[in-house]
């Protein structure tokens, strides 16, 4: 497996080099909105320390990230009056991973409503409004 590379886009977000719509953070983890949301409220949770994915993460990294995933899953379900929540996580390119800093997708879901196709940029004002709804539910 390749080594962690610190020029990935989420490392740049962590260093404040590129903007992100932040929803929640604590000492160990950060949650921010996905810019190509496949559902309203689609967000990402990452550890603040470096690892590529589940395959090289330490148990401590996984523990802190999954605690934040749960917190955000509960908040986003409430914020959007969702019926359920999908959690997605991909490992290496062959596993569907595109950004090589461990992240979990949190997707509020409504009964009978399919996910939108991947790769479609959303309106930034809508994303900001969705982030505010989730923050209010936290
Ligand atoms: P994957 O590695 O397959 O889980 O996909 C990476 C995810 O990161 C995709 O859902 C992208 O829409 C999302 N993404 C890529 N760049 C950014 C960014 N600058 N801010 C927020 N989300 C991003």
- Rounded to the nearest whole angstrom, what is the distance from the C-alpha of residue 34 to the centroid of ligand 1? 6
Query: In what side-by-side order are the strands of the sheet with 29-33?
Result: 22-25, 29-33, 43-47, 104-109, 84-88
Residues 74-118: tens digit of each pLDDT: 999 999 999 999 999 999 999 999 999 999 999 999 999 999 999
Residues 122-133: tens digit of each pLDDT: 899 999 999 999
The CATH H-level (homologous superfamily) assignment of domain 9-137 is HIT-like (3.30.428.10)
Tell me if residue 103 is catalytic: yes
Kindly report the average pLDDT of the chain as a whole number. Answer: 97
**What are the domain boundaries of the chain?**
9-137
Residue 105 alpha carbon, nearest atom of ligand 1 = 4
CA Rg value for the chain:
14
């Amino acid at each position: 497996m390749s080594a962690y590379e610190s020029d990935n886009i989420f490392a740049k977000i962590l260093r404040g080099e590129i903007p992100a719509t932040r929803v929640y953070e604590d000492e160990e983890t950060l949650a921010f909105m996905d810019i190509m949301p496949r559902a309203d409220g689609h967000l990402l949770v990452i550890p603040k320390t470096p690892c590529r994915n589940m395959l090289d993460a330490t148990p401590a990294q996984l523990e802190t990230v999954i605690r934040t995933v749960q917190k955000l899953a509960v908040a986003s379900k409430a914020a959007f009056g969702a019926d359920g929540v999908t959690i997605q996580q991909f490992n290496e390119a062959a596993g569907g991973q595109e950004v090589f800093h461990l992240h979990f997708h949190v997707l509020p879901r409504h009964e009978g409503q399919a996910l939108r196709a991947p790769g479609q940029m959303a309106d930034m004002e809508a994303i900001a409004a969705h982030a505010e709804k989730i923050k209010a539910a936290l």
